[in-house]
A = this chain, B = another copy of it.
């Protein structure tokens, strides 16, 4: 019943510490117990006990001894990526994608079906079937299933903006999808939007591995934003944070479906590109069309990219100034070459808190997971939640 901040006890503390150790090993492997203890402010003995538990659960595995330094060689622990797995599901009106990820975020299975009826009952049955199939294919036991992360278009009972070209799922209006999936899949379930899921997937296994502060600009039908800050997902007060597509980049500009004029989405989204090219009689309905036109250096395509790049530059600059992230990632349902072409065209302001000399990573990078981002992101959400400790920080 109680939701929100709660008190701790020995059991919850133990849980927390397991996560802390797991997360430390994941991002610093290989690591010995003494090292872990120092870094996590725990006693060696405590780490020893915790490591033993995690090893017995198959989440950690020993990997030889460290040599070359003084003292007794430390037994090095590594993350055991195959100790558990998570399912990610992307549910859209026209397709379902089911992906299996191991604990390291490596994709071990993925299947996409396009003959979809997206109403609740049918969709759930289809997903269940795909999950069973995936588990037999990959020889996984259900007991190792951490949970499921579902990425689907919302909103659910929340006020939100209507976006251009965004399809809605039929029949889900009055349902709580979290509840529906939790019951039918019979495992812990998370529901998330595509941008946030993509951001998490980059952190679990992509270009943001080890980063605690970054933004992911997601090109779906519209444009979304996922923000990880201090290692935690930012959702805002009502779960609608990151509505980057409706930032106005042009005073009195294009009419947007949301009612405003000049929204970023009307210039730089996939849907915007489709509309733009339509004016010249060019069909751009698939991602392949995009890539092909770009490769051919189609002048209209290049024009669109230039224009989109200009609008994106403004918004990316704003993100840097507001969030002060380690990096900003671009990705989603566009071919890699198109993302790269956009990145090339984005001019980052010289005067920015992000323009620092000691950068470890570029200010702007392309996401790793490409088209499957959403489903992978769903599974990554589960892994993220399993791994990420809920904050107990020391100054």
- A324 in contact with B7 (CB, 8 Å): no
Q: Does A356 contact B (CB under 8 A)?
A: yes
Known: A234-B229, A349-B260. Contact between A5 and B240, CB under 8 A?
no
| CB atoms of A159 and B355 under 8 A apart | yes
Q: Which residue of B lies closest to A321 (CB)?
A: B243
A236 contacts B by Cβ under 8 Å:
yes
Say yes or no: is A210 at the interface (Cβ < 8 Å to chain B): no
CB <8 Å contact, A39 and B2? yes
Q: Among B39, B229, B256, B353, point to the contact of A351 (Cβ < 8 A).
A: B256
A213 nearest CB neighbor, chain B only: B237
Q: A231 — which chain B residues lie within 8 A by C-beta?
A: 5
CB interface residues, A 30-48, toward B, < 8 Å: 38-42, 46
Proximity string of chain A (339-353) to chain B, C-beta cutoff 8 Å, 1 when within and 0 when not? 000000000011111
Q: Which of A5, A9, A10, A12 has the most CB of B within 10 A?
A: A5
Whether A69 sits at the interface, judged by CB under 8 Å, is no
Say whether chain A's binding surface is mostly helix, strand, loop, or mixed: loop
- Within 51-97 of A, Cβ neighbours of B (below 8 Å) are at none
Given contacts A236-B229, A246-B351, contact A8 B4 (CB under 8 A): no
- Give which listed residue, B20, B321, B390, B393, contacts A393 with CB less than 8 A: B390
Complex Cα distance, B18 from A5, in Å, reads: 12
Can you name the residue of chain B whose Cβ is closest to the Cβ of A357? B159
A233 → B minimal CB distance (Å): 9
Which residues on B sit within 8 Å (CB–CB) of A318?
A: 247-248, 318
Question: B38, A21: Cβ atoms under 8 Å?
Answer: no
Bound CA span A330–B349, Å: 27
A314 touches B (CB below 8 Å):
yes
Per-residue interface assignment for chain A, residues 288 to 327, with 1 indicating a CB less than 8 Å from any chain B CB and 0 otherwise: 0000000000000000000000000010011101111110
- Tell me, yes or no, whether A259 is within 8 Å of chain B by CB: yes
Are A392's CB and B390's CB within 8 A? Answer: yes
User: Is the CB–CB distance between B244 and A321 below 8 Å?
Assistant: yes
What's the Cα separation between A10 and B14 when bound, in Å? 10
When the two chains form their complex, are residues B353 and A240 in contact, meaning their CB atoms are under 8 A apart? yes
Which size class do A's interface residues fall under?
Answer: 35 or more
Is A258 in contact with chain B by the CB < 8 A criterion?
A: yes
User: Taking CB as reference atom, which chain B residue is nearest A21?
Assistant: B7
Can you list, as one digit per residue, whether each of A367-392 has a CB less than 8 Å from chain B (1) or not (0)?
00000000000000000000001111
Residues of B within 8 A of A165 (CB): none
Find out whether the CB atom of B8 lies under 8 angstroms from the CB atom of A236: no
Q: Which of chain B's residues have a CB closer than 8 A to the CB of A4?
A: 393-394
A161 at the interface (CB under 8 A from B): yes
Return chain B residues, CB-CB under 8 Å to A6: 20, 40-42, 392-394
Give the Cβ gap from A10 to chain B, nearest Cβ, in Å: 8
Closest to A238 in B: B324
Complexed CA–CA distance, A229 and B238 (Å): 11
Contact residue among B7, B314, B355 (Cβ-Cβ distance under 8 Å from A392)? B7
Q: How far is the CA of A235 from the CA of B260 in the complex (A)?
A: 31
Question: What is the CA–CA distance of A39 and B1 in the complex, to the nearest angstrom?
Answer: 8
Nearest 9 pairs between A and B by C-beta?
A: A236-B324, A391-B391, A258-B351, A213-B237, A240-B353, A259-B351, A6-B41, A7-B42, A243-B321
Q: Can you offer 17 A-B residue contacts whose CB atoms are under 8 A? A: A2-B38, A2-B41, A7-B392, A9-B42, A13-B13, A213-B236, A230-B232, A237-B324, A237-B325, A238-B324, A239-B324, A240-B324, A248-B318, A248-B349, A259-B350, A319-B322, A392-B392
Q: Which residues of A contact B (CB under 8 A)?
A: 1-10, 12-13, 16-17, 20-21, 23, 38-42, 46, 159-161, 212-214, 225, 227, 229-232, 234-244, 246-248, 251, 256, 258-260, 263, 314, 317-319, 321-326, 349-353, 355-357, 389-395
